[in-house]
Amino acid sequence: MDITTFNLSNPWRTGRAWDVPGIERAITGKLVKWLDEPEILILAGARQVGKTSILYQLIDWLLQSGRAEPAEIYYFNLDLAGISEFMEDQGKLLRFLDVEKRRNIFVFIDEVQRLPDPGIFIKALQDLRLQLKFILTGSSSLDIRTKSHEALTGRKQVFHIEALSFSEYVKTVPALSSLPDLNPHNYHPYIAALNDTLYDYGLYGGYPATTLTADPEKKVLRINEIFSSYLEKDIAGFLKVENITAFRKLATLLAGQQGGLVNIQELTSTLGIHRETITRYPNHHC
């Protein structure tokens, strides 16, 4: 493993300044309550909903509260070259964590589904009964649930991470920064700003990346990128789709028919692919 890459991802270990993501998430407070429990924590959700930011907020809480020292916190991003291969060897990982010298170790693993068998890998380490606390994320909630569910039965707590709720979204709007928690008794003076915010929320969604982008054109481009990544990498990969172009067209057509009856024959004619191919995708998904 390239130690330079690891150190850049773990600035608290070297004393380097780092920015804690600023969007306040309600789920962070719930996760904090589980940091002293024995279960493995799994944050499962789609791409770009803010899972990595939540990990960094948890790390900051551990440091600020004095619950852990910088040397006791390890963060591994399996999207980075070399990190994933290193993490496939349990012996190397245990030696790197220096488990014989440290009593309480927090191990944050981002994109854990990159491991060939993440559930079995983590279960074996958990069963050693060392002072290790695992907090895992997977941007493909389909993949991570399939690969970790059975192996970690009775050893995990799964938290499904969604995009920003409207209440969380409101807190990012400068014009509404002085607004306390939304309730029927306090929102009337802010009704105009709230209506504008609700329109933007409905139009662009609650993805943190688009929320923090001011330019409408850039918002659209980022939404398109999120859609493409999730559809073509996560869902298509999970279903082992070969014809990505046809699958993308199918998803687009189905999105326009939400709440209506699906005409398989019409989809077959429109897309120019076999009926069996179309019917296979939702059956695999279920």
- pLDDT in the model for residue 14: 92
195 located within any domain? yes
Per-residue pLDDT band for 282 (boundaries 50, 70, 90) equals low
Helix, strand, or coil here: 215? coil
Q: Is the dihedral of CA 235, 79, 107, 75 positive or negative?
A: negative
Q: Which 3 state secondary structure label does DSSP give 151?
A: coil
Judgement on whether residues 142 and 189 belong to the same structural domain of the protein = no
Domain count, the chain: 3
Distance from C-alpha of 111 to C-alpha of 108, rounded to nearest angstrom: 10
Residues 103 and 80 in one domain: yes
Query: Which range (70-84, 104-118, 120-134, 231-245) has the least confidence?
Result: 231-245
Residue 229: band (very low, low, confident or very high) from pLDDT cuts 50, 70, 90? confident
Q: Are residues 145 and 44 in the same domain?
A: yes
Q: Which residues contact 39 (CB under 8 A, 6 or more apart)?
A: 155, 156, 157
Residue 234 is assigned to a structural domain of this protein: no
Residue 84 placed within a domain: yes
Q: Please say which residue of 107, 131, 160 terminates a domain.
A: 160
DSSP assignments along 101-149, one per residue: T-S-EEEEEESGGGSSSHHHHHHHHHTTT-SEEEEEEES-HHHHHHHHT
The last residue of a domain, from among 128, 160, 192: 160
Given this model, what pLDDT does residue 281 score? 63
- Asked, for residue 232, whether it belongs to a domain, the answer is no
pLDDT at 264: 79
Q: Which of 62-66, 109-113, 172-176 has the lowest mean pLDDT?
A: 172-176
Stretch 36-40: mean pLDDT: 93
Q: What would the mean pLDDT of 97-117 be, rounded to a whole number? A: 87
For residues 7 and 99, membership in a common domain is answered with yes
Task: Please give the full DSSP string across 49-103, using - where no structure is assigned.
Answer: SSHHHHHHHHHHHHHHHTSS-GGGEEEEETTSTTHHHHTT-HHHHHHHHTTTT-S
Residue 27's pLDDT band, with cuts at 50, 70 and 90, is: very high
pLDDT of residue 97: 92
**pTM confidence score:** 0.81
Mean pLDDT of 96-122: 88
Q: Are residues 153 and 194 in the same domain?
A: no
Is residue 235 in a domain? Answer: no
Domain stop point among 227, 250, 274: 227
Answer whether residue 230 shows pLDDT above 80: no
Q: What percent of the chain has pLDDT over 90?
A: 41
Residues 210 and 83 placed together within one structural domain of the fold: no
CB within 8 Å of 272: residues ≥ 6 apart: 246
Query: Is residue 220 a part of any domain in this protein?
Result: yes
- For residue 76, what are its two tokens? 């591994």
pLDDT band at 284 (very low <50, low <70, confident <90, very high): very low
We report the CATH number of the domain holding residue 134 as 3.40.50.300
Domain extent, residue 216, equals 165-227
- Residue 227's pLDDT band (cuts 50, 70, 90): confident
Query: 84 pLDDT band (50/70/90 cuts)?
Result: confident
Q: Are residues 46 and 126 in the same domain?
A: yes
Same domain? 12 vs 138: yes
**Judgement on whether residues 118 and 45 belong to the same structural domain of the protein:** yes
Q: Indicate if 151 and 14 belong to the same structural domain.
A: yes
Same domain (yes/no): 171, 266: no
Identify the pLDDT of residue 285. Answer: 43
Q: Are residues 89 and 33 in the same domain?
A: yes
Q: Per residue in 131-183, pLDDT tens? A: 999 999 987 545 555 555 557 878 899 999 999 999 899 888 888 877 777 67
pLDDT of residue 271: 74
- As a whole number, the mean pLDDT across the chain is 84
Mean pLDDT confidence for 208-234? 86
pLDDT at 236 over 60: yes
